[in-house]
Amino acid sequence: MAVLLSGVLTLSACGSDGGGDSSSDSARKPDSQAAIDAAAAKASSEAKVTFSAKEGQDNVSINSFSASVKKGTFTEVVLTAADSGTAVEGSFNGDKTGWKPNGQLERGTKYQVKAVAKDADGRKETVNRTFTTVSPANSFIGYFTPDDGAKVGVGMPVSINFDKAITDKAAVQSAIKVNSSSGQEVVGHWFSPTRLDFRPEEYWKAGSTVSVDLNLDGVEGADGVTGIQDKTVTFQVGRSQVSTVDAQAKTMTVVQDGKTVKTFRISAGSPETPTYNGQMVISEKFKETRMDGSTVGFVGKDGKGEYDISDVPHAMRLSTSGTFIHGNYWAADSIFGSANTSHGCVGLNDVKGAGDSGQDGAWFFNNSLIGDVVVVKNSPDKTIAPDNGLNGWNMSWEEWKAGSAI
């Protein structure tokens, strides 16, 4: 019995090596796995979620992240900054097959996204992903003027200053489109690797609309440095106003839409510190501002500014280097129209406090737009440099086009 039992046990234990039952066992295993696979497939959702960023991807655009689903609809998409846990607000499209953030993401930030979708039978698909947006070190921004929605004078160029030097100027310039409702040809000019201005051959047509399309997202401006902006800016050109300062005659004539509307007596730069000649564009306006000579190189023997006036009225900037046209309350009324006494600015009669609208300085301030043109002639100084302020009009059209990269 012991031997027989041992044989039976041995036969049972070694039955897989041969014998009639082995074929049924091997047949059942594939059938069982097939059933499992079929059940899993039946339970699996047909909805398929995809993201615009790959898992673990770096240098993702801050503008273009999105989630989409095929053969289903979203029930939930949650995007959060990984370190802070701050949720990013976003919106679904009309049929809930797409989702994107409501605004730009932050640069150099790791994000986590969870998306849940369901198919027609209600079966869920849940997908998680992490990615990191492009860092400040690997991206560039263009700071532009004028602002979106602004109303400007006919001399206002589109001026873009980049926060990093651009080496592929052609690629960047090609990604920026400037168009006017007037149909004027608009050309870009690089003043430096960080500054690109656009203007037509002649001043903008009064009443026209100018659009600026910044299609810089993903454009490589330098090795490993890409743009992140994707936006359109639109501004309106107002009436035409060009004012001409005759430094020798000590007058300024204001012409609006081809008609002379005002003539003022002025005081320009003294013979020792004359005013630049040339076409200058108003780039900033201040009802009152401080002017300190030490900030623009006019320093006395004591190391202090040759002048320091804390409340200069009705000041409008004409150059980066410090040329303004402004009200003047500290000089005698008699100097206007008779003597040039300033350190290079153009002065108009005014009062302290900028509160009298009847003063020459107040009238000119109140009737001027950023982008209006002030032309200075008959001064003993040189013509202002085109890149000193928004003053590219002092270049011929041929010189201007020569600075284009495309």
Catalytic residues: 326, 345
DSSP-H helix ranges across 21-117: 22-43
Instruction: Of 148, 387, 368, 115, give the one whose Cα is nearest residue 262.
Output: 368
List beta partners, residue 208: none
User: What amino acid is encoded at 5 in this protein?
Assistant: L
Structure tokens, 124: 């869920």
CB 178 within 8 A of CB 198: yes
Instruction: Of 253, 255, 252, 170, give the one whose Cα is nearest residue 206.
Output: 255
**What CA–CA distance (Å, rounded) separates 172 from 146?**
19
Residue labelled with tokens 């150099």: 108
| DSSP per position, 99-123 | EEESSPPPTT-EEEEEEEEE-TT--
Euclidean distance between the first and final Cα of the chain, in Å? 101
CB 164 within 8 A of CB 225: yes
Per DSSP, the three-state class of 8 is: helix
CB 315 within 8 A of CB 288: yes
**What CA–CA distance (Å, rounded) separates 399 from 227?**
28
Instruction: Phi first, then psi: give them for residue 62, nearest 5 degrees.
Output: -85, -5
Residues with Cβ within 8 Å of 338's Cβ and at least 6 positions away in sequence, in order, are: 250, 265
